[in-house]
């Protein structure tokens, strides 16, 4: 494919590569995106009714059960060809003496499991916990305890992810902005580009003259700003870019 060839050339000459991923990169691993209908028991809830502070305060057991279900689903899933290609891309860029940063909105740990080293988890990690009250990070003594409590203040433990209506860590966001400002080439992969502030990150790269590539079967609000849009599933096109 011609676009892939051109991108290959660009990749071999480039210094600073940034990849921003969303739920779409994990879709081919069988991890549903938020836009897809939830299945089984959870079909009657929208994620907005489960992934908020209010939902947790009102129904902590329901929210924790939903997260346990998602953790189990993710644990059974495997990194797909798209994840693996991004791990390979990091190696290739490093071998060229360049810099590579992956910024993800996903909480599923699949990039790390695929082998990527430099991962900025904007929205946290579903396998980690913190206290709902004092925010101290900690691991529940037993996965199966229904309502695990904080060792410091006895508050309830919640997943260490960013819920709707919550702010990202200022430090992480600053780092992500800085990384984007340095990018020569930025890939926007599998994100609907509507959840802020992640959706604005590519604009920092664009402002500094980066080449922007979108990989997504569906258009997004950022599509018109991209130099190249590839309407192909990530797991199909990414391996072509790293020749695996």
Task: Name the site residues for ligand NAD (rule: CB under 6 A).
Answer: 22-24, 26-28, 31, 33-35, 105-108, 123, 189-192, 195, 215-218, 220, 233-235
Of 1, 41, 134, 203, the one binding Zn ion by CB under 5 A: 134
If the CB atoms of residues 65 and 133 are measured against ligand NAD, the closer one turns out to be 65
R_g over Cα of the chain: 19
Of 55, 102, 150, 199, the one binding Zn ion by CB under 5 A: 150
Of the candidate spans 145-153, 164-172, 173-181, 206-214, the one that interacts with Zn ion by CB under 5 A turns out to be: 145-153
CB burial string 26-39: b at 16+ within 10 A, e below: bbbbebbbeeeebe
Question: Which of ligand NAD, Zn ion, none lies near 108, with the C-beta cut-off 5 to 8 A by kind?
Answer: ligand NAD
If the CB atoms of residues 88 and 150 are measured against ligand NAD, the closer one turns out to be 88
Q: Cα separation of 2 and 22, whole Å?
A: 25
Per annotation, catalytic residue among 83, 101, 111, 123: 123
Q: How many CA atoms lie within 13 A of 240 on its CB side?
A: 15
Instruction: Verify whether residue 123 is a known catalytic residue.
Output: yes
* H helix or E strand, kind and range, residue 92: helix 81-95
Least Cβ distance, residue 186 to ligand NAD (angstroms): 15
Place of tokens 């790269």: 205
Question: 3-state DSSP call for residue 221?
Answer: coil
Token reading at 211:
């080449």
Question: Which of Zn ion, ligand NAD, none lies near 150, with the C-beta cut-off 5 to 8 A by kind?
Answer: Zn ion
Least Cβ distance, residue 13 to ligand NAD (angstroms): 25
* H helix or E strand, kind and range, residue 10: helix 2-13
Least Cβ distance, residue 241 to Zn ion (angstroms): 45
Question: 3-state DSSP call for residue 235?
Answer: helix
The verdict on 147 binding Zn ion (CB under 5 A) reads no
205: region left, alpha or beta (phi > 0 left; psi from -120 to 50 alpha): alpha
Residue nearest to ligand NAD (CB): 24
| Catalytic site positions | 123
Interface residues toward Zn ion, by CB under 5 A? 131, 133-134, 150, 152-153, 155
């Amino acid at each position: 494919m011609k676009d892939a060839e051109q991108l290959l050339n660009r990749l071999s000459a480039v210094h600073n590569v940034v990849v921003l991923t969303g739920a779409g990169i994990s879709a081919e691993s069988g991890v549903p995106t938020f836009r897809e209908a939830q299945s089984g028991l959870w079909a009657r809830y929208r994620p907005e009714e489960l992934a908020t502070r209010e939902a947790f305060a009102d129904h902590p057991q329901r929210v924790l059960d939903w997260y346990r279900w998602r953790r189990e689903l993710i644990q059974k899933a495997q990194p797909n060809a798209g994840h693996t290609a991004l791990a390979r891309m990091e190696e290739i860029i490093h071998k060229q003496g360049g810099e590579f940063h992956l910024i993800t909105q996903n909480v599923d740990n699949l990039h790390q499991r695929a082998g990527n080293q430099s991962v900025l988890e904007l929205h946290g990690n579903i396998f980690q916990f913190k206290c709902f009250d004092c925010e101290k990070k900690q691991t529940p003594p037993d996965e199966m305890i229904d309502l695990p409590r904080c060792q410091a203040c006895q508050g309830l433990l919640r997943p260490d992810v960013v819920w709707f209506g919550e702010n990202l860590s200022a430090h992480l966001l600053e780092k992500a902005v800085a990384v984007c400002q340095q990018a020569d080439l930025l890939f926007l992969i599998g994100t609907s580009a509507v959840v802020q502030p992640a959706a604005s990150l590519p604009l920092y790269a664009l402002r500094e003259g980066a080449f922007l590539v979108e990989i997504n079967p569906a258009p997004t609000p950022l599509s018109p700003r991209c130099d190249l849009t590839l309407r192909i599933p990530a797991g199909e096109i990414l391996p072509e870019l790293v020749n695996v």
